[in-house]
Amino acid sequence: MTLAASTQFPSLESALKHFFGYDQFRLEQRAIIEGFLRRRDSLVVMPTGGGKSLCYQLPSLLKLGVMVVVSPLIALMQDQVDALRNNGIAATFLNSSLNLAELRSREQSLLKGETRLLYIAPERLLSEGFWPFLTQLQLRIGISGFAIDEAHCVSEWGHDFRPEYRQLHRLRSTFPNVPMMALTATATARVRQDICQQLQLTDPDTFVASFNRQNLYYEVLPKDRNAYAHLLGQIKDASGATIVYCISRKRVEELAGRLQLDGIAALPYHAGLSDETRTTNQNRFIRDDVQVIVATIAFGMGINKPDVRLVAHYDLPRTLESYYQESGRAGRDGEPARCIVYFSYGDVSLINFIIDQKQQEQEQNIARQQLRQVLDYAESTVCRRQIQLSYFGETFPGQCDRCDNCCHPKPLEDWTIEAQKFLSCVARCRERFGMVHIIDVLRGSQKKRIRELRHDQLSTYGIGKERSTEAWKLLGRSLLHQGLVDETTDGFPVLKLNAASWQVLRKQLSVQVAVPDELNKPGTEGAMGSAVETGLLAKLRTLRKRLADHQGVPPYIVFTESTLRQMAQNMPRSLSRFGRISGVGSRKLEQYGQAFVHEINAFCEENDIEGNTSSFGTQRSSSDSSSPTINTTRAMTLKLYQEGHSVDEIADLRNLRRTTIVGHIAALIEAGAAINLDDLVPFEKQGPIREALEATDGGWLSGAYNRLGEAYSYDDIRLVRGLLRRERSQHTETLQEKGQKTEG
Ligand code: ADP
Ligand code: ZN
């Protein structure tokens, strides 16, 4: 087989732009594609949203023959095929949802060479009847490659073992010369090894992308009285698709009902609903008819919605791996998104109870260990990313700047004396009781049981009255965590002293405890935009929804969220400018360009905006709130800044988020206020940020952020963008002045 169409494109990048509208490959995509084109086998491990599909989709368009994609999820197939067709790519699927006539006609069109990509479920692929067809396809048209999606299903060690995947090695023996690509988002070494072996990959190139999802903000909050109100606020703030996970059907129903009462468009999803209701609810969520889906973990597999802005676990996740997968459904489009766990110790007891119901001791042990890892994550005061990535065997230095522990480190307090009281109480109770009892004794509880045990006679009885039960629990857990006391794991947890406990008791070790402050609420960086942008974005979303409904596809198939955002920021007023937006390929330009450009033009005229001829969006109308005039709240920030307060201090004083203050200052710089950028962003960082902003065409924040990498924060980028915009508008003003002079 030759590289058929490749001669048509001077570079892989130009093919990428033509078919998919993207300007650049992500990290390893290019290398993966090149390998495939050279007919090499490969194993591709990338987190959800990493961009795996493109790795076989693009090659399928550059080679002769049909790319056969094995995928276990019927719903996903439909979605992928819809997305491809929307880009003008001839793709099809064969599965049990089709009737015989449809199947035959699709097979015919495959044999005529009219189709580039074929999605198929493993059962069908491996069935008696299909094999002769496949051989015929190879003879007549050629098979350009096999892509095995969700390849971890081949491994018993993966989380979703499917026995039929085991038979896929027949592909290798029957078609030894067709290159095979296995793709998965599961990263453990064991599963990886299994995949290569089971599928009999030949000397495969292995690509393992980092599992760091840079655009996700992680946080853990106490599930206390305020939790619901907090969640509600988050959902409103996110103003985008939200998944809330609960542990049981009952809790799903309760929470969905409560959100509905509070005016949120929310639907439930769990195994107790009829198939029909589930499908309807899922589709209404995917198509943006409702904002929120409240679900058990039954929801999510096979959901490809890229623009989920918030994933909240209202109950504790079961394992760290499942948390990574579930939270990973946020922000697949690379735009900022949030992942929140609401954590209570009540949930821990519930999960422990569920574990106790398990039959096998081995199963119980594994489940306990998994629970312990989740607790480590939830209770920890170190970078959340660091914990997650270390679980996947990746070393990450911490300080991610995108998790609660990095953004709002909890202050450490010296609780050595309390620890000594606690541990000596454990000793006095002869190391035969659990934490609740120890705390009861410390706090001088009147419980009958205490008297019966004569623990009210102990010297430690009542010596801890000055602290609340919660505070003692915090200490107890922290001691466990730091290994300063042990807990038995054989059913009823009893506290036991260890060598380190004795060091504390002998005053050889001091004890520091991280004390959480109240619920904090950091900003959704990067999600901001000027009022004008937001106004246009809303219009574009409506248009997108209309076009999507018309075709019966989800809105993101028409354009992704990031593509819409760029339109709102850039305001392209001609087709040629519109075509430059990332995500607008040749087919989409043709199909949707007119409608969108028309909408943008109408918006600009209505709002008296010049629209975009410049790449930094200096479009401003005098009435909109984001015009570079200084409004009251910004004036207040400016006053405090001039008085010498730092950004953090101003945020504190004004009780606003840091990002809000940075937003003010960026706007102030843009408006020409006397603020020296060098005081805010190190000079050596400014150059690269400028370049990144220029390169992302439009001063697009997350575009620049992704380019720059982790050493640069959104705040820095926004501040520099303020100055750039300032310079732009000065430049335009000068030009206008010049124009007026020549006219005059
Ligand atoms: P995965 O299969 O790894 O979960 P997808 O293939 O669904 O991820 O890709 C996630 C999103 O990223 C999709 O919206 C896709 O169009 C987009 N994407 C993939 N590659 C690129 C790229 N090179 N540039 C911009 N967006 C991309
Ligand atoms: Zn962090």
Taking 90 as the threshold, does the pLDDT of residue 165 lie above it?
Answer: no
Query: Of the residues 26, 335, 697, which should be mutated to test ligand 1's pocket, given the most ligand atoms within 8 Å of the CB?
Result: 26
Tokens encoding 609: 């905006």
Taking 60 as the threshold, does the pLDDT of residue 740 lie above it?
Answer: no
What is the percent of the chain where pLDDT is above 70? 90
- Alpha carbons 653 and 655: distance in angstroms, whole number: 6
- Alpha carbons 696 and 332: distance in angstroms, whole number: 19
Å from CA of 337 to ligand 2 middle? 15
Nearest ligand, measured from the Cα of 219: 2
Å from CA of 370 to ligand 2 middle? 21
Taking 90 as the threshold, does the pLDDT of residue 455 lie above it?
Answer: yes
Q: Rounded to whole angstroms, what are the CA distances from 559 to 82, 385, 544, 592? A: 12, 30, 7, 9
* pLDDT at residue 734, as a whole number: 57
Nearest ligand, measured from the Cα of 380: 2
Give the model confidence (pLDDT) of 684-701 as tens digits: 889 899 888 887 765 677
Angle, alpha carbons 3-23-49 (nearest 5°)? 90
Taking 60 as the threshold, does the pLDDT of residue 422 lie above it?
Answer: yes
Nearest ligand, measured from the Cα of 216: 2
Residue with the smallest CA separation from ligand 1 atom 23 is 25
Q: Rounded to whole angstroms, what are the CA distances from 477 to 379, 420, 495, 518? A: 8, 14, 11, 19
Helices (H), 655-713: 658-670, 683-695, 701-708
> Residue 343 forms beta bridges with which residues?
222
Query: Of the residues 332, 557, 562, which should be mutated to test ligand 1's pocket, given the most ligand atoms within 8 Å of the CB?
Result: 332
**Ligand 1 atom at shortest distance from the alpha carbon of 25:** 23
- Alpha carbons 466 and 448: distance in angstroms, whole number: 22
Query: Of the residues 33, 43, 53, 582, which should be mutated to test ligand 1's pocket, given the most ligand atoms within 8 Å of the CB?
Result: 53
Residue with the smallest CA separation from ligand 1 atom 18 is 51
- Alpha carbons 269 and 256: distance in angstroms, whole number: 9
What mean pLDDT comes out for the span 515-534? 47
| Residue position matching structure tokens 């050279």 | 38
Å from CA of 387 to ligand 2 middle? 9
Taking 70 as the threshold, does the pLDDT of residue 625 lie above it?
Answer: no
* pLDDT at residue 354, as a whole number: 82
534 or 716, higher pLDDT: 716
Average pLDDT of the chain is 85
In the structure, what pLDDT confidence band is assigned to residue 1 with cuts at 50, 70 and 90?
very low
Burial class for 666, CB neighbours closer than 10 Å (0-12, 13-18, 19+): buried
Å from CA of 122 to ligand 2 middle? 40
Å from CA of 408 to ligand 2 middle? 10
Q: Amino acid letter at 531? A: A
- Of 339, 385, 337, the C-alpha closest to 244 is 339
Å from CA of 215 to ligand 2 middle? 12
In the structure, what pLDDT confidence band is assigned to residue 530 with cuts at 50, 70 and 90?
low
Å from CA of 440 to ligand 2 middle? 36
**Ligand 1 atom at shortest distance from the alpha carbon of 556:** 14
Q: Rounded to whole angstroms, what are the CA distances from 433 to 379, 453, 584? A: 23, 11, 65
3-state secondary structure of 178: coil
In the structure, what pLDDT confidence band is assigned to residue 499 with cuts at 50, 70 and 90?
very high
Residue with the smallest CA separation from ligand 1 atom 9 is 51
Nearest ligand, measured from the Cα of 563: 1
* pLDDT at residue 313, as a whole number: 97
| Residue position matching structure tokens 């918030």 | 310
DSSP label at residue 672: T
Q: What is the per-residue burial (b if ≥16 Cβ within 10 Å, else e) of 155-171?
A: beebeeebebbbebeeb
Q: β-strand 292-295 against 216-222: which pairing, if any?
A: unpaired
Tokens encoding 703: 């575009």
In the structure, what pLDDT confidence band is assigned to residue 10 with cuts at 50, 70 and 90?
confident
Å from CA of 306 to ligand 1 middle? 9
**Ligand 1 atom at shortest distance from the alpha carbon of 582:** 25
Give the model confidence (pLDDT) of 36-79 as tens digits: 999 999 999 998 778 999 999 999 999 999 999 999 888 788 88
* pLDDT at residue 489, as a whole number: 62
* pLDDT at residue 156, as a whole number: 75
Nearest ligand, measured from the Cα of 184: 1
**Ligand 1 atom at shortest distance from the alpha carbon of 24:** 23
Nearest ligand, measured from the Cα of 406: 2
CB 622 within 8 Å of CB 63: no
CB 307 within 8 Å of CB 556: yes
Nearest ligand, measured from the Cα of 398: 2
- Of 543, 541, 599, the C-alpha closest to 571 is 599
Å from CA of 19 to ligand 1 middle? 13
* pLDDT at residue 526, as a whole number: 33
Residue with the smallest CA separation from ligand 1 atom 2 is 52
Query: Ligand 1 — pocket residues by CB below 6 A?
Result: 22, 24-26, 29, 46, 48-54, 306, 332-333, 560
Q: β-strand 66-70 against 205-208: which pairing, if any?
A: unpaired
Query: Of the residues 11, 30, 54, which should be mutated to test ligand 1's pocket, given the most ligand atoms within 8 Å of the CB?
Result: 54
CB 214 within 8 Å of CB 710: yes
Residue with the smallest CA separation from ligand 1 atom 21 is 51
Residue with the smallest CA separation from ligand 1 atom 27 is 51
Q: Amino acid letter at 305? A: K
Query: Of the residues 12, 18, 20, which should be mutated to test ligand 1's pocket, given the most ligand atoms within 8 Å of the CB?
Result: 20
Å from CA of 129 to ligand 1 middle? 34
Å from CA of 388 to ligand 2 middle? 10
Å from CA of 233 to ligand 2 middle? 23
Longest dimension (CA), the chain: 101
CB 20 within 8 Å of CB 585: yes
Residue with the smallest CA separation from ligand 1 atom 16 is 51
In the structure, what pLDDT confidence band is assigned to residue 368 with cuts at 50, 70 and 90?
confident
- Alpha carbons 340 and 313: distance in angstroms, whole number: 6
Taking 50 as the threshold, does the pLDDT of residue 742 lie above it?
Answer: no
- Of 566, 608, 611, the C-alpha closest to 706 is 566
**Ligand 1 atom at shortest distance from the alpha carbon of 26:** 23
* pLDDT at residue 522, as a whole number: 30
In the structure, what pLDDT confidence band is assigned to residue 614 with cuts at 50, 70 and 90?
very low
**Ligand 1 atom at shortest distance from the alpha carbon of 20:** 16
In the structure, what pLDDT confidence band is assigned to residue 345 with cuts at 50, 70 and 90?
confident
- Alpha carbons 153 and 71: distance in angstroms, whole number: 10
Residue count of the chain: 744
> Residue 206 forms beta bridges with which residues?
43
